[in-house]
Amino acid sequence: MNTFTSVTHGVDHRAVNHCPINHSSGNHAGKSGDSPQMTSHHSSSTVSAGGQTHHDPSLPGTRTEGDTEAAADDPASTTVYWQPISLAQPVVNTLSTKLFTPVVPVATTRGANQAPPKPPPTERSARSTGSDAVLQPQETLDLDLQLSPHEGDYTVRVLTSPAGQAIGTFQSPFAATESGEFVQEIMPSARPLSRLAVQALMKEHGGRLFDALFQNDLLVCLERSFDEVRRRNATLRIKLRLTDAPELLSLPWEYLYHRRRNLFLSQSTTSSLVHFLELPDPVASLTVTLPLRMLVVIANPTDLQPLDVEREWSTIQSALADLIERGMVIVDRLPSATLPELQSALRRHDYHVIHFVGHGDFDETVGMGHIVFADGQGQAHPLPGEVLAQLLHNERTLRLVVLNAPEGSQSNGANSFASVAQLLVQQGVPAVIAMRHSISDDAAVAFSHEFYAALADGYSVDAAVTEGRVAIATRMGNGEWGTPQLIMHAQNGMLWQVAAKVDDTVIDGASIGADLGV
């Protein structure tokens, strides 16, 4: 019988809503398992100028330590508490074992082991600084750019921004192969360059791309948007819509560099960069109940160069160690990924995140990327991205896919995983993170650790990607931080909503960012 490892994770959760959300079920029938139970109740808090949170007994819904015991006997109590699951060791399950069912809200008293939940953020939040600290919400504003061909150049339209709309033109500042050569030159596999030389090269190319994109009215719009972001203590999400100009996807957008501000836009905590695909159908709202389920798919065929997959698996576990202890997230491992095993796992369980580790390839003749699985004998079995996308199209709870190409992986050009990522989004996956190139083991570990830790801290998916990029940039000293590419169809980085139904009243949680942040 095929087996995979299942590790339970968890975090605290509060039913405090910072933005309007809808409530719609996204669970499949026929996929079942065990889940913690919860009780519910509202709470209030205030934030001091120093960023500390204080509970005010005078505010409606505030519970003091003295009346907590009495609240346990109050049937009208409406604060959500999750029953933690304590596991001394990871749990190994077979694919035939039932592991996951939606949590059914019930009215229970609070136990002595239950910790008070943390309030969820809106889209990006500051990290907690101690056991009593809470995540502080921060508003995210969109600068939405659409590029489309026009008379040999491209028209750029600002569809929405904090500063209104604008229109301009764009022409690539690079020769046919120049941008690809630049990316290869700043990678660790290229000729040795000092850290300062790599930084100068990234600024030069990123600055040229920035100057070509943000000219005249578009530059004014960007600057005014930054002013508004600063005034409102918010962050700016820059959306690039390249649906009408797919040939521009190969440009090094992640290295956009604002010379005057000395700022890489995709490496800043005040801004993020996403590739947005326009599709006819909007992303359906998904109300989820914990635990979340994540599938790590490891494909390491015996006839290709071996990958250090155990290191990345350990990194994911380490990044979510606190969640493991609280039993709020389950991580399943599919160590020898064949297509039948993947299909079997998807049939038995609802997954919210899939993390793929393995080789990629790109077929120039048909212009399509491939994901390399293993066949029944452990040999390489390239799977067209379109086939994988069709398979995942049926997974209605799936909200995020991560495609990682570790050091030594076969990756034919920048389009291998990026091409597959676009196909996945086109088939309904709200967000996909793709490594545009093979990435060193150290960089992959740095990214995965900070990315998943940021998700656990309550960051939106684009903000968490930024955290991963910063980790690579500060620790590696090369240009690998621009390798992760985020492609989205979701309007924002908060891809789930958590709601508990108590006495026929839906208690809104903000997006699942409070727990896994995506």
Q: What pLDDT does residue 50 have? A: 43
Question: Model-level pTM?
Answer: 0.71
343: tokens are: 């299909």
Q: What pLDDT does residue 176 have? A: 81
Q: Which residue has the tokens 């809106």?
A: 122
Is-contact 114 83, C-beta < 8 A?
yes
CATH 3.40.50.1460 fits 291-459+471-493, yes or no: yes
**Domain positions in the chain:** 140-276, 291-459+471-493
| Residue ranges with strand state E in 242-393 | 257-258, 263-264, 271-276, 287-288, 292-298, 329-334, 353-357, 360-363, 368-374, 380-384
Q: Would you mind telling me the total number of residues written for the chain in this entry?
A: 518
Q: Which residue has the tokens 């090269």?
A: 201
Question: Rounded to whole angstroms, how far apart are CA atoms 203 and 195?
Answer: 12
Question: Rounded to whole angstroms, how far apart are CA atoms 208 and 42?
Answer: 51
91: tokens are: 């749990």
Q: Tell me how far CA of residue 505 lies from CA of 105, 175, 500, in angstroms.
A: 11, 60, 8
* pLDDT tens digit sequence for 311-359: 888 888 888 777 777 777 889 998 778 889 999 999 999 999 999 988 8
Helix/strand/coil (H/E/C) assignment for every residue in 282-318: CCCCCEECCCEEEEEEECCCCCCCCCCHHHHHHHHHH
- Say yes or no to pLDDT of 87 above 70: no
Choose the weakest-confidence range: 44-53, 162-171, 353-362: 44-53
Nearest of 495, 499, 496, 467 to residue 481 by alpha carbon: 467
Q: Give the mean model confidence (pLDDT) for residues 493-514.
A: 46
Nearest of 280, 291, 248 to residue 91 by alpha carbon: 291
How much of the chain, in percent, has pLDDT values that exceed 90? 34
Nearest of 147, 206, 123 to residue 482 by alpha carbon: 206
Element housing 166 (H / E): strand 166-170
Residue with more model confidence, 185 or 28: 185
Question: Rounded to whole angstroms, how far apart are CA atoms 38 and 46?
Answer: 25
- pLDDT band with cut points at 50, 70 and 90 for residue 304: confident
- pLDDT band with cut points at 50, 70 and 90 for residue 190: low
Q: What pLDDT does residue 5 have? A: 52
Pairing of strands 431-435, 400-404: parallel
Q: Give the mean model confidence (pLDDT) for residues 198-226.
A: 97
- pLDDT band with cut points at 50, 70 and 90 for residue 115: very low
- pLDDT band with cut points at 50, 70 and 90 for residue 126: very low
Sorted by sequence, the CB contacts under 8 Å of residue 319 that are 6+ apart come out as 448, 449, 450, 451, 452, 453, 456
Average pLDDT score over the chain: 73
